[in-house]
């Protein structure tokens, strides 16, 4: 019965994804003069060259990290819409460590990553504390903090670390000691991949194998029960936001230290919302996150190739993503079918479960 629940959930998610993809194909059919070619680029494009595979993996790295960040908050029953600000500020702190604290190779990159985690955790801690102390909605506070730290981060970069010789509003180039090195030439896949893998393992172990993760999950499932059993709900609310923020901070650092090697965002990059899409598809399970992130990065990468090669623009993929979230999270989607199956099962076993 446990297995059938799991099978049902996975099946439901897959059907939702299929329907969304189907919609994508229909759109291609409607708008394209060369639909077959467009299909082909969209579905197979990302695998055709090493560089393209590389692009896919590069794009996956920050998505895994924000997906994990959001999943942890969701598992604690908290909403984290602030991953956006957390990763932005994490990228800023990583940049500052990179430019201001020259350190030897390896050490420097580790300290910068640590700095990014601290930066993100700080932002998360504010939401967590406001919720725990005063019951202030973490939804509104994290939304506000996105903009506060977006502006504050921009201020730091533009006024203290801006490269006057560069044409755009970007920071100084980062020294090589702080780079996340590229590991698979000619692609730009970088050490951030290891960071992401470590983060997946950490998140999994933390959530399912430690008592703090246990407390976090129980609080998320039923906070009255958690309090009754002696779990400090206040502590869970705070540390879930702090850890979530720290991992989101790493996502920002990964792009800055691994891809651009300087701070160049002038807008919020949108990864925070991507994290919500991924966590939703992965059902907040850390081991589902990389799959969801790979999938999301794949269809985006495919769409971008398709738009370069054919007359279909890549933004079509956004429609697919949105429909996926709507269907996956619609409780009523396929629930009738599920209910019938459960009733059948119950009858067969004659249990009054």
Instruction: Show contacts with another protein in window 272-301 (CB under 8 A).
Output: 273, 276-277, 280
Question: Smallest distance, Å, CB 124 to another protein?
Answer: 14
> Is position 353 an interface residue for another protein (rule: CB under 8 A)?
yes
Angle (deg, nearest 10), helices 288-309 and 50-75: 140
Q: Does residue number 49 form part of the binding site for another protein (CB under 8 A)?
A: no
- Is there binding between residue 168 and another protein (CB under 8 A)? no
The footprint of another protein on this chain (CB under 8 A) covers a number of residues equal to: 72
Tokens of residue 132, six digits: 């725990």
Q: Pick the closer one to another protein by CB: 19 or 183.
A: 19
* 135 lies in the site for another protein, by CB under 8 A: yes
* Residue 270 DSSP class: S
Judged by CB under 8 A, the residue of 34, 37, 53, 158 near another protein is 158
DSSP notation for 104-171: -TTHHHHHHHHHHHHHHHHHHHHHHHHHHHH---HHHHHHHHHHHHHHHHHHHHHHHSB-TTSSSS-B
State yes or no: residue 197 binds another protein (CB under 8 A).
Answer: no
Interface with another protein (CB under 8 A), residue from 19, 43, 103, 148: 148
Q: What is the closest distance, in whole angstroms, from the C-beta atom of residue 48 to another protein in the complex?
A: 23
Task: Look up residue 273 and give its two tokens.
Answer: 């919302």
Binding residues for another protein restricted to 300-319, rule: CB under 8 A: 313-319
63: closest CA among 285, 328, 297? 297
Neighbours of 86 (CB within 10 A): 38
31 belongs to the binding site for another protein (CB under 8 A): yes
The binder of another protein chosen from 7, 14, 26, 205 (CB under 8 A): 205
**Contact between 243 and another protein (CB under 8 A)?**
no
What secondary structure letter does DSSP report for 350? T
Cβ-contact 67, 248 below 8 angstroms: no
- For residue 22, the minimal CB distance to another protein (Å) is 16
229 lies in the site for another protein, by CB under 8 A = yes
CB of 229 to another protein, least distance (A): 4
**Nearest CB to another protein, comparing residues 174 and 316:** 316
Nearer to another protein, 165 or 352 (CB): 352
Residues 22, 51, 101, 155: which binds another protein (CB under 8 A)?
Answer: 155
- Residue 282 phi/psi, 5-degree rounding, is -85, 0
DSSP string for residues in 36-82: HHHHHHHHHGGGSSHHHHHHHHHHHHHHHHHHHHHHHHHHTT-----
Task: Tell me if 323 contacts another protein by CB under 8 A.
Answer: yes
């Amino acid at each position: 019965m446990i297995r059938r629940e799991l099978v049902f959930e996975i099946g439901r998610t897959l059907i939702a994804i299929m329907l969304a993809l189907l919609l994508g194909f229909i759109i291609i059919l409607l708008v394209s003069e060369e639909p077959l070619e467009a299909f082909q680029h969209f579905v197979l494009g990302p695998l055709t060259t090493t560089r393209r595979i590389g692009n896919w993996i590069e794009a996956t790295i920050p998505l895994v990290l924000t997906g994990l960040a959001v999943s942890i908050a969701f598992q604690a029953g908290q909403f984290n819409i602030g991953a956006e600000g957390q990763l932005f500020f994490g990228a800023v702190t990583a940049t500052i460590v990179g430019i201001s604290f020259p350190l030897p190779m390896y050490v420097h990159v580790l300290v910068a990553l640590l700095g990014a985690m601290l930066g993100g955790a700080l932002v998360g801690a504010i939401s967590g504390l406001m919720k725990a102390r005063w019951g202030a909605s973490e939804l509104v506070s994290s939304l506000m903090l996105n903009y506060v730290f977006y502006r504050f981060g921009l201020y730091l970069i533009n006024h203290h670390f801006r490269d006057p010789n560069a044409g755009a509003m970007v920071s100084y180039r980062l020294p090589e000691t702080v780079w996340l090195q590229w590991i698979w030439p000619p692609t730009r896949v970088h050490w951030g991949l290891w960071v992401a893998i470590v983060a997946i393992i950490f998140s999994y172990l933390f959530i399912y194998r430690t008592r703090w993760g246990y407390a976090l999950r129980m609080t998320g499932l039923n906070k009255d029960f958690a309090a009754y059993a002696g779990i400090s709900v206040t502590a869970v609310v705070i540390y879930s936001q702090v850890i979530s923020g720290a991992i989101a901070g790493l996502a920002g650092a990964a792009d800055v230290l691994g891809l651009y090697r300087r701070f160049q965002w002038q807008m919020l990059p949108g990864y925070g919302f991507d994290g919500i899409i991924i966590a939703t598809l992965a059902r907040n399970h850390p081991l589902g996150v990389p799959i969801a992130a790979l999938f999301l990065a794949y269809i985006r990468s495919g769409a971008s190739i398709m738009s370069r090669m054919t007359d279909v623009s890549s933004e079509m993929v956004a429609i697919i993503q949105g429909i996926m979230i709507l269907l996956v999270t619609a409780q009523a989607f396929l629930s009738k079918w599920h209910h019938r199956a459960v009733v059948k099962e119950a009858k067969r076993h004659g249990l009054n479960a």
